[in-house]
A and B are shown apart, each in its own frame.
Chain A
């Protein structure tokens, strides 16, 4: 059978998907074991046991200096910044994207500005943010917002602008004005797209979060990774990276589930 026609079942897909991950893990274990055979104090490729004990200590033993459980304090701080940044950017994308997409005069007035902001590399603005907003939480959240909001705004605006003209005309023949079309025709159809935009923005949002934390912070997942790098603590860095990946995957799955639950019509509601 041709490869383009092969259908993969659920269980088979699970098995196939696990193969490369398992291979990668085995390769790591072999390389790590070899290095430790040569030098039992090797720090570059730590064994799973070393990683587990290092993280276990950070999860359960209060830090001597601050008295915090470092792992959880880092996670909480990072998720707080990320959540705030994502929340503000999503709200902006919805409000600005909606009017930009649905109302031609607004698009003519603010479209070029949004496009202009979107092409600025956000990291280049980081110094300005630090100078203007200080080194506190505001600057880090602002970096995330500035980094992802313009792309999300343009995505939502593009989607709303591409709604079939027939729908907008039909709504008017049913007695709807601009406001009612925004509220009842454009807004509900923008929401599933907003979730897609948010899912795509998760990756960049993490990048901006880690960058901001690496440069100026005293707590956070990114801060910790860059701090322990000085001591070659791969036994902390690798589990932290894995933890970030896990958090990102959970967010992605949660958003997909939310979208299918809340907007069944947008997911080809079963015939």
Chain B
């Protein structure tokens, strides 16, 4: 399989502090890459560079063979740990927003039949993440787990080439987290997603991923710890058992 996303000799430096050094990576379509590593090893920076929120100091990143534009765009979806839903929009409006932006460049609002169609599409996506009953709530009225479901639905409505998750389940309690793992695995298969997930939970990384990437510093200078950046020290492809039939009862809001 050819690579969907390629990083070639990517360096990220802030002033004289090197965060990432010489990252070379190919991500094939349909894979689920978990990124782990100690705090401060540049996991989030790695994700932000792919997202386009930050620029690599050196190196090239290509998506589908084309160089990555230096801004975030609809080809890369994202779910952050927090603040990734809009508090002033209802659940339904949060998801419809993505459709409105492309369809109505001037007003960013859809009306009439177009709005009906967009709402139907959004409702379908919300049903897929288990929020069919909460469409008219505001995010502040929902639990953290439900907000993350919403953030996922919001990202998926744009059918991104690649979905980036930045510790998406880090703030959830263990029971809810298990539900979310089942949900993201289901969606990943259902929508043929390519996922890159940053996590500090090693178990989560191995449970969900088809490949685990460990970022850390290869070398360490005790007198100038900031002069060496992190890179992928381990890159483990995991052989997953064929998708087992999922118990239907897993889906619960």
Contact = CB atoms under 8 A, between A and B. Distances in A.
B49 to A, nearest CB: 13
Contacts of B101: 171, 174-177, 180, 184
Interface string B187-227: 00000000000000000000000000000000000000000
Contacts, number: 90
Interface residues of B, number: 37
B141 A184 contact: no
A268 to B, nearest CB: 6
A167 interface: yes
B200 to A, nearest CB: 18
B78 A170 contact: yes
B92 to A, nearest CB: 14
B117 interface: no
A166 B13 CA distance: 22
Highest count of chain A CB atoms <10 Å: which of B53, B73, B86, B158: B86
Contacts of A266: 87-88
Given A166-B82, A173-B74, A183 B107 contact: yes
B97 A184 contact: yes
A164 B108 CA distance: 21
Interface in B145-171: 151, 154-155, 157-158, 160
Contacts of B83: 164, 166-167, 170
A264 interface: yes
Interface string B78-94: 10101111111100000
B253 interface: no
A173 B80 contact: no
B43 interface: no
A180 B99 CA distance: 12
B108 A174 contact: no
A230 interface: no
Interface in A87-136: none
A66 B139 CA distance: 59
A165 B155 CA distance: 16
A6 interface: no
Interface string B102-120: 1001111000000000000
A173 B73 contact: yes
Contacts of B77: 173
A189 interface: yes
A18 interface: no
Contacts of B100: 184
Contacts of A175: 73-74, 98, 101-102, 158
Nearest to A164: B83
Main secondary structure of the interface of B (DSSP, over half): loop
B138 A176 contact: no
A176 B74 CA distance: 8
Interface string A179-206: 1100111001100000000000000000
A172 interface: yes
A174 B80 contact: no
A263 B53 CA distance: 30
Nearest to A168: B72
A176 B141 contact: no
A173 B139 CA distance: 19
B219 to A, nearest CB: 32
A110 to B, nearest CB: 24
Contacts of A265: 87-88, 138-140
B35 interface: no
B51 interface: yes
Contacts of B157: 174
A185 B160 contact: no
B140 A185 contact: no
Given A265-B140, A269-B140, A166 B154 contact: no
A165 B72 CA distance: 12
Given A166-B84, A180-B101, A173 B160 contact: yes
Interface of A: 164-167, 169-177, 179-180, 183-185, 188-189, 263-266, 268-271
Closest 6 CB pairs of A and B: A164-B83, A174-B98, A172-B72, A166-B83, A175-B74, A175-B101
